[in-house]
Each structure stands twice: as structure tokens, then as C-alpha cells.
Structure 1
Amino acid sequence: MGYFGKLAFSAGRWTAGAPTAVPFLLLDVHDSDIATLDYRAADASGGRFFLGHEPRIYFDEPDAAAPVDVAAEAQGFARWVHETTGAEVDPAAVADLMAAPDGAPPRDEVVEETVERLLALAGLPLPDWPSDDDAPAG
């Protein structure tokens, strides 16, 4: 079984669960196969995209999530990074990491690796991924 968890980057740090401020980046990982990234800027603009697989492909359920406009979300995320951190990010490099709307397999075996590539590209710190020692007993 892979990692399941929700982490938020806001106010310059990662926390478990919900963000503590705007702007934020919310990361929701499902079984190390799908990462849903929601980003919001101070003006409440933002978006959503996936790394690994899109839910509609992964679950073979067309209504699980609308197909992502990869070019638009890559531009939006690059703008969010610039407004949030001042860093410049190439939207094409962001798009290259996103889940393929046509269902092509992801580059990385576990989505956490793709998340780390994206965060490095954006100049954001990496989260402290929970270890097996952090899991509940049993």
C-alpha cells in the first residue's frame, strides 16, 4: 500500500491537513499513485491539477474529475509560484510533470517523486513525508 495523506504549504511551511493562510498549495496524495494539487493566490484565483494519474483514468470513472487543461493549469501554477515566491517557472516544465489527460503512464513509479520534482522546479521546500514510524499502531 502506498502513502495516503493531505499536506498544505502556506505561510512558508508545510503542515498536515488544511492550509493556515492564503496563498497556499494543498497536496492530497492517494496511494502514492495520484497527487491532487490545489493552489490559491491572495486574490482567491487558483486552480487544480494532478500528478501521476488523473482520477477519471485511474478509477476508470469518467465523472471522477473533469479532464485538466494542462496548458492553462501549467500557466496558472507558474503564475502562482511567481506571485507567491517571486521565482520564475517554465510552464512547459510544469506541464511535463502533470498527469497525462490521455492516460499515458506517469514517469515516476510513486507520485511523491513527481511532487518533489515539481516543488524543486518551483523552488519550494519539500515536505517531511511521514515515515512508517508515524503510522498508527496495528
Structure 2
Amino acid sequence: MGLFGKFVYSDGRWTRSAPTAVPFLLVDVHDSGFATVDHRRADAGGGRFFLGYEPRFYFAEVDASDPVDVDAEAEGFAAWAKEATGAELDPAEVLALLASPSGVPPTDEAVELTVDRLAALAGLPPVEWPTEADGYAG
């Protein structure tokens, strides 16, 4: 069994609780197979994308999620990172980390590795992942 849990970046730190400020980033990891990433900016703009797999491919159910406009989401995340950390991201670098809209398997074995790469790209501190001894259920 993989990791299940929600991790929130706001106010300059990662927590396992609700966001305390805007901008924020919420990462919801599902069984280490995919992560739903939600981000909000101060102007109420934001977006949602997936890392690992889109749920419609992970669960092999076409209705499990709508297709993601990965180009728009990469641009949106780059804008979020600029506001949240001042990082100047190339949307192409973000795009390379997003779940494939055609279901191509991800490069990373566990989605936590992709989350780590996204956080580093955005200039965020690393997520403190729980260990199995901590209990994976979020």
C-alpha cells in the first residue's frame, strides 16, 4: 500500500491541515500513484492538475476525472510560483512533470518523487513525507 495524504503549502511552510493564507498549494496523494494538485493565487486565480496519472487512467474509468489542459495548467502553476516564491519557471519544465493527458506512464515510480521535483522547481522547501512507521493513511 502506498501513501495517502494531504499536504498544504501556505505561509511559507508545509502542513497537513487547511491552508492558512493565499497563495497556497494543496497536494493530495493517492496510494503513491497519483497526486491532485490545487493552487490558488491572491487574485482567486488558480488551477488543478495531476502528477503521476490522471485519475481516469489510474482507475481505468473515463468518468473518474475530466481531461486536463496541461499547457494552461503549466502556465498557471508558473504564475502561482512567481507569486508564492518569486521563482521564474519555464512552463515547459512544469509541463514535463504533469500527468500525461493520454495516459502515458509517469517517469517516477512513486508520485512523491514527482511532488519533490515540482516543489524544488517552484523554490519550495521539501515536503516532510511520513514514514511507514508514521502510518500512511492521511
TM-score range, shorter chain: over 0.9
DSSP-derived class of the 2:106 partner: coil
Tell me the secondary structure at the aligned position of residue 84 of structure 1. helix
Match of 2:93 in 1: 93
**1:84: Cα distance to partner?**
1.3
User: What's the counterpart of residue 64 of structure 1?
Assistant: 64
Partner of residue 28, structure 1: 28
Counting matched residue pairs gives 136
Shift of 1:21: 1.4
Greater shift in the superposed pair: 53-62 or 24-33: 53-62
**Equivalent residue for 1:77?**
77
Aligned alpha-carbon RMSD (Å): 1.0
Q: Which has the higher contact order (CA 8 A, sep 6+)?
A: 2
Q: Share of identical aligned residues, percent?
A: 65
Partner residue of 1:129? 129
- Residue 17 (structure 1) shift: 3.0
Aligned to 2:45: 45
Letter of the 1:49 partner, please give it. Answer: F
CA distance in 1, matches of 2:118, 2:84: 15
SS in 1 for 2:93: helix
Are positions 1:4 and 2:22 aligned together?
Answer: no
Q: Distance in 1 between matches of 2:13 and 2:95?
A: 24
Which deviates the most, 65-74 or 55-64?
Answer: 55-64
Unaligned runs of 5+ in 2: none
Matched AA of 2:133: D
What residue is the counterpart of 1:119 in the other structure?
119
Gaps in structure 1 of 5+ consecutive residues: none
The match for 2:18 is 18
Q: Give, in angstroms, the shift of residue 134 of structure 1.
A: 1.3
| Poorly superposed stretches of 4+, deviation over 6 Å | none
